Amino acid sequence: MFNIVLIDLVLSGDNAAVIGLAIRNLAADLRKKAAFLGTGAAVILRVAATSIVALLIRIPWCNTVGGVILLWITYKLLINSESQKNLRAESSFWKAVCLIVVADFSMSFDNVIGVAGAAHGSVPLVIFGLAVSIPVLIWGSNRLAGLMDKYPIIVFLGGAVLVHTSATMIIKGLKLAAFIGRTPATFVPWLLALSLLVWGCSGSFKEKVRGEKLKS
């Protein structure tokens, strides 16, 4: 039982990042609600997926599809962050919930496989382990969203984590390591993540300089 909870928490760091990014533009009182609803729905999907994990493993390019979906979601979260602020609270709230569900599920193939193995096919154990991890995910994502308010660069740090995850999933799904080598396959996701972080830092610096010029 402990193994199930531990595996899910270890593999859910990226999930907390995407939840934090999705809810950061919501009002403080809506963040916990969105995180709870989105994570709860995603966990229900995970339980269903874990119950048919043998089937999921046989699906070709499963990680590739999940990686592409996650890349699209990362783009939506980063590029459209300013336009999301202009949406009505209700629209932003449900959009955040939907993004959490889709992103969390697309990232959870490793969780599904790991948890299913630790549970030895016991669905009740799977449900219990995932349920225990929900409060930790919600607390972590809300804490992360709060830090993003104070330090905008964390938005790009979270984006870099998601880009690394999605690139790794795509490379794994397409089995590119067999063609380009294990070292390049490991290096490319880190390079993409670092590039996004550098771009985010330069943009934040330019924004800060522009703001200081306007004040003077």
47 pLDDT more than 60: yes
Predicted confidence at residue 86, as pLDDT, reads 45
Across 36-63, average pLDDT: 70
Mean pLDDT lowest among 83-97, 128-142, 177-191: 83-97
54 pLDDT more than 50: no
How far is residue 100's CA from residue 106's CA, in Å, rounded to a whole number? 10
- Mean pLDDT in the chain? 73
| Tally of domains within the chain | 1
Q: Are 21 and 142 in contact (CB under 8 A)?
A: no
Predicted confidence at residue 90, as pLDDT, reads 46
Predicted confidence at residue 120, as pLDDT, reads 55
Domain that holds residue 41: 2-215
Per-residue confidence band for 60, with pLDDT thresholds at 50, 70 and 90:
low
Per-residue confidence band for 157, with pLDDT thresholds at 50, 70 and 90:
confident
188 pLDDT more than 90: yes
Q: How far is CA 61 from CA 39, 67, 173, 178, in A?
A: 25, 10, 5, 15
As a whole number of angstroms, the longest Cα–Cα distance in the chain is 65
Predicted confidence at residue 189, as pLDDT, reads 92
Q: What is the pTM for the complete model shown? A: 0.60
Predicted confidence at residue 82, as pLDDT, reads 47
Per-residue confidence band for 44, with pLDDT thresholds at 50, 70 and 90:
confident
